[in-house]
């Protein structure tokens, strides 16, 4: 028996996965923030968990190399460079 997938949900998840695939090592924190946003919880300038702006349950962990002066939340800089990206994963939202 062929499974009946929710076509609209499948399209939306595919769109988020395509956004994740566009993220590359060497991009900046500012570029990442075009499609993802920060999640509450522990973080540092060199590591943070991000959630999709389209769905708060789709997440990625990102590692950074500090670049430039410390500015903003957690002394992060929008110029910090991505050094490592986790595969996307699903997880309930963390309340801030």
Per domain, the residue ranges of the chain are 25-90
Please list the alpha-helical segments (H only) found in 33-89.
Answer: none
Query: Which has the closest alpha carbon to 32: 6, 8, 59?
Result: 59
- pLDDT tens for residues 41-82? 889 999 999 999 999 999 999 999 999 877 666 688 899 999
pTM tops 0.85: yes
DSSP strand E in 1-96: where? 36-38, 47-52, 58-65, 81-85, 89-90
Q: Contact 74/38 with Cβ under 8 angstroms?
A: no
Task: Grade residue 19 by pLDDT with cuts at 50, 70 and 90.
Answer: very high
């Amino acid at each position: 028996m062929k499974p009946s997938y929710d076509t609209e949900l499948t399209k939306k998840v595919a769109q988020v996965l395509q956004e994740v695939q566009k993220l590359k090592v060497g991009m900046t924190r500012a570029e990442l923030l075009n499609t993802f946003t920060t999640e509450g919880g522990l973080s540092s300038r060199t590591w943070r968990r991000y959630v999709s702006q389209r769905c708060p349950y789709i997440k990625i962990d990102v590692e950074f190399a500090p670049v430039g002066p410390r500015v903003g939340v957690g002394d992060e800089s929008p110029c910090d460079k991505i050094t490592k990206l986790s595969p996307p994963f699903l997880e309930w939202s963390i309340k801030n």
